[in-house]
Copies of this chain bind each other. A is one copy, B any other.
Amino acid sequence: MKKPLILITNDDGIDSKGIRFLVSVMKNFGEVVVVAPDSPQSGMGHAITVGDKLRLVKSDLFGSIDSYKCSGTPADCVKIAKHHLLKDRNIDLITSGINHGSNSSISVLYSGTMSAAIEGAIENTPSIGFSLCDYDPNASLSHTEPYISKIINNTLNNGLPNSIALNVNFPSKSNNKIKGIKVCKQANAYWEEIFDKRLDPYGREYYWMVGNFVNHDKTRDNDELAISENFVSIVPCKFDLTSKTGIEYLKSNWDI
């Protein structure tokens, strides 16, 4: 069997520990090409570079593995890999991460890591975003390896439905053993912000945005709960935002 061609990207930047660890695991599964942002892109959501140039520069960070740093967003990295760098080849799998910090629940919308995966799904390439629920850039990652391998083996052998990207979140390393993998739905939660107002040395106001996570999901099958119970969570994500409930509501209640 031909070795799968695997594109790896992230949002923390090409030099982060998370992507280096992911490359070290993924190279066991196929031919890896890295195209990752040249600077941190956390919180970039599904941003793309519109009306500005992009740079794409060869990197030697990964030794013999073909790798490039891109001046754009995670979604840009997927686009330039797919439609320029690797345009004459078929990418079998896109993996993004490992993100330093949780992308569970509503954070999937703000996450550059997951937007790269969703960009892959839009173009019908099996795509997975991996995140560790620990914001420390030096956090321990080795406990994720057997779960990444299990997920990749399943993806390569048992497939993913079309147009679906997986949002995988790992509990941070602790003394408690991980209980397994749970397929979940996105928890119904949000970030409630506090704006910490300060004065700069020139007397002008500025703000730091500080988020407090508010989870009001009481169901049993949501990703927040799974992670809190020390499971690895997988939420299969789609990019069609259409609300059928919304369509029915407008058709029944609106006068248009």
- Shortest Cβ distance from A41 into B: residue: B47
What separation, in Å, do the CA atoms of A83 and B211 have in the docked complex?
Answer: 10
Is there a chain B Cβ closer than 8 Å to A178's Cβ? no
Contact flags A212-246 to B (C-beta < 8 A → 1, else 0): 00000000000000000000001111111111011
Please tell me if the beta carbons of B183 and A251 are within 8 angstroms of each other in the complex.
yes
Known: A47-B110, A180-B256, A236-B242. A83 touches B247 (CB 8 A): no
Structural contact, A46 and B49, CB atoms closer than 8 A: no
Q: What is the CB-to-nearest-CB distance from A152 to chain B, in angstroms, rounded to a whole number? A: 12
Partner of A255 from B154, B197, B239, B240 at Cβ < 8 Å: B154
Q: Taking the complex as formed, is A138 at the interface, i.e. its CB lies under 8 A from any CB of chain B?
A: no
Complex Cα distance A150/B250, Å? Answer: 13
Stretch in A2-10, A21-29, A158-166 with 4+ CB within 8 Å of B: A158-166
Decide yes or no: A194 and B83 within 8 Å by CB, A49-B209, A154-B255, A250-B234 being known contacts. Answer: yes
A-B contact pairs, 25 of them (CB 8 A): A42-B51, A44-B45, A46-B109, A53-B207, A54-B208, A55-B205, A55-B206, A79-B209, A80-B193, A84-B197, A118-B241, A154-B255, A158-B255, A160-B246, A161-B245, A161-B246, A164-B243, A183-B254, A184-B247, A188-B240, A236-B242, A237-B243, A238-B242, A238-B245, A239-B241
